[in-house]
Amino acid sequence: MKTTLHIKGRNLWILCTLVVLGIALSCCYTIIVSVDQPATAVVGSTVNIVVNVKNSCNSSGTAHFVFGFLAPKGWKTSQNAKITWASTKGNGNMVLIPSTTLAPNSNGLSWPDYMKATFGNVGNLIDDVEWVAYQTDAPINYANGDKITGTVNITFSNIGADGNPTSVKLGYVIANDQNGFTFDGNDGDSSPTSEYYNELVTSCFQLTGGTGDLVDFCNPQLTTINPPKSLDNDLVTITYNDNVTHTTLAGSTAVYLCATATLSDGSKVNVCSQTAKTMLTQTSANSGIYQLTFWPKSFFGTTPGQTVVSMTYYITDKAGTVQVGYGNTAAAFTYKFKCS
């Protein structure tokens, strides 16, 4: 039997129109409005950062707000940062989310892993940064149409705990523990990255002073070493990127490592022959990117009682006559073998 729905009556039509309009105009957003952060700081000092946030949704519910902060691993954020929240819905501390807590809609990832998978290293060129995930220490109840404004306040003590002057892009993410980094499109004028979560990346933050070597996460370097923190019993990959600037090695099919190691007993070992052992091979034809993976203990031929403390090095051509140093100058690149 065919049934036809006949809507009659002026009020019913008005009601339907209002429902449709209500859906269309529904608006849910989570936005990091701004971050008040100094442009520079000194290694070991205390830095205060304020993240200004606003949130609204045309529905009611309860959720913990989640906050993610990306900084160099060597800063030990989870130990050195104290984070609080203040808002029109109350205030309290931001607490670390245990690594055993799985984020919603993440296919089984912890919050830090989910942040890494979603936002990566936010443009930092060295993979030695970490996402640290926090959530409000109490759930926040919100009613339909609530406009919540608030701040996440970071007090970062002993910044740059690894002692390295650093140039880095800091990353901030705000989300909630119900939706994760999703967009369901149900809400009117929000965008995929501002409905249930929002990310903000600052320009390069400069950390000066310290006793270590400069770590520049922001600018491409002629050479990089992976893992960034390694000892002489690691397998170390050195990458030379000839695309960073025009050097006299441009167009080479292979380049060579010419290195001098300083050992724990103060002796020095120089390895500077242009052989297969020192050859950086091009990753693909004309890529201008060359790599060599080596075992420092074996490469420098240390004895059981010796360790490699640091090395200075140049990249050379096959004849060994053309040498490229730090910043395409005559100064050698330097690398310290360390783990913290």
Partner 1 sequence: MKRHLYLLIALIGLSFASCKVEKITAVNEGTKDLTGTWKVVQATRNGTDLIPLYDFTQFTLKFDAKSQSYTLANPLPFIVGADGKYALDDPQYPFKLTFTASGGTPVTTAFNYPIVAGSRAIILTFSPGCTLNTYVYTFTKK
Nearer to partner 1, 54 or 229 (CB): 229
- Quick one: which of 145, 295, 318, 327 contacts partner 1 (CB under 8 A)? 295
Nearer to partner 1, 13 or 295 (CB): 295
13 makes contact with partner 1 (CB under 8 A): no
How far apart (Å, rounded) are the C-alpha atoms in residues 75 and 61?
36
120 makes contact with partner 1 (CB under 8 A): no
* CB neighbours of residue 303 within 10 Å: 8
Torsion of Cα atoms, 173 then 197 then 110 then 50, to 10°: 20
Q: Do you know the residue count of the chain?
A: 340
Max CA distance (Å), the chain: 97
149 makes contact with partner 1 (CB under 8 A): no
Map the footprint of partner 1 across residues 94-113, applying CB under 8 A.
Answer: none
- Min dist CB 304 to partner 1, Å, is 8
226 makes contact with partner 1 (CB under 8 A): yes
Cα R_g (the chain), whole angstroms = 27
End-to-end CA distance of the chain: 77
Chain-centroid distance of CA 228 in Å reads: 14
- Quick one: which of 52, 202, 233, 323 contacts partner 1 (CB under 8 A)? 233
Nearer to partner 1, 277 or 318 (CB): 277
229 makes contact with partner 1 (CB under 8 A): yes
Pairing of strands 268-271, 254-263: antiparallel
- Quick one: which of 30, 230, 252, 302 contacts partner 1 (CB under 8 A)? 230
Pairing of strands 61-63, 166-168: unpaired
Residues interacting with partner 1, by CB under 8 A? 73, 226-227, 229-235, 237, 291, 293-295, 297-298, 304, 338-339
